[in-house]
Amino acid sequence: MTSSAVRPLLARAVDTALDRSVVLGYTSLGLAVRRALPGWPADPAAGALEGRHVLVTGASSGLGVATAAGLADLDATVHLLVRDEAKGEGAAERIRGAQPGARLRLWRCDVGDLDDVRRFAADFATEVAELRAVVHNAGVMPTERTESAQGHELSMAVHVLGPVVMTEALRGPLRGGRVVLVGSGGMYAQGLRADDPGYLTGDHSPTTAYARSKRMQVELAPLLARRWDDLTVAVMHPGWADTPGVQESLPMFRRLTRPVLRDDAQGADTSVWLAAVEPAPPTGLFWHDRVPRPTSLLPTTRPSPADLDRARAWLEDAAGLG
């Protein structure tokens, strides 16, 4: 039974109204209201991750740092995966400054480069025998269509292929663990483009490329949950958070919404909760503010079985899945 199923009916109705309104539900106001409603899912217990190891990608800024800090606050040993080691060191120092006892380890990897992902995972698995959770937070929004080292469209490489390849390579340490992919509510505006995962047709839009890759995460989650049947697989979206990505890529949106944007810790809340809460949440679902959400709000964005089969085939080929 999901946490949403045991909430009072009125609380569920208010929560759903917030979610469908978008503007209210995705902001800091929506989170504040939800926290005040009866049945808000309980926080993980203090020290819930003591003795456990967790991995956070894209951990040098924004939601990644907040996620790492939240997990460290639950006494986890947190492995920060970054592309820029200098920025990663700065992030680790900020966390230690606020949490002097935080146990942190820094690793370098370009999540969009599948060869580098496999290299990192092999190194990691030799040092960490048991991994409670991986939070795939690394994100990009290039202004032009950009390809990864292996020739994949970069948004798909960083948000889909890299996380899948990394999880596959870490199945040994992750056995019985959890996989959290940080998605985006922006995916609601896009259907599953399994016919063009490389964004080879049409005029390129950074926000569209980003949203398409996030849609791909959500639609593949149930398939991955079946493949990784010993793991808990979750996709979550943080709402509207004042992240460096928003500041750099969506300056007009930020100017209009800044008073109600979530801070990094509020945006990271559900990632931390999914990684730590007991018992483990249901697998293969899409989450926001600790509650499972529908994956489509409009019939036009619901994929057909043929679309899902094509997406699965693309993933198996591009990620080299056996």
Q: Which residues pair with 77 in a beta bridge?
A: 53, 103
Residue 209 CA: distances (Å) to CA of 43, 100, 134, 244: 34, 40, 24, 18
Sorted by sequence, the CB contacts under 8 Å of residue 11 that are 6+ apart come out as 37, 38, 39
Catalytic annotation, pick one of 26, 188, 199, 210:
210
Instruction: Using the structure block, give the residue that is written with the tokens 């663990």.
Output: 177
Find the radius of gyration of the CA atoms of the chain.
Answer: 18
Asked about 210 being catalytic, the answer comes back as yes
**Amino acid letter for position 13:** A
Angle in degrees, 0-180, between the axes of helices 162-169 and 206-227, rounded to the nearest 10? 30
77: tokens are: 């040993």
- Give me the torsion for CA of 67, 72, 74, 79, rounded to 10°: 80
Catalytic sites, residue numbers: 210
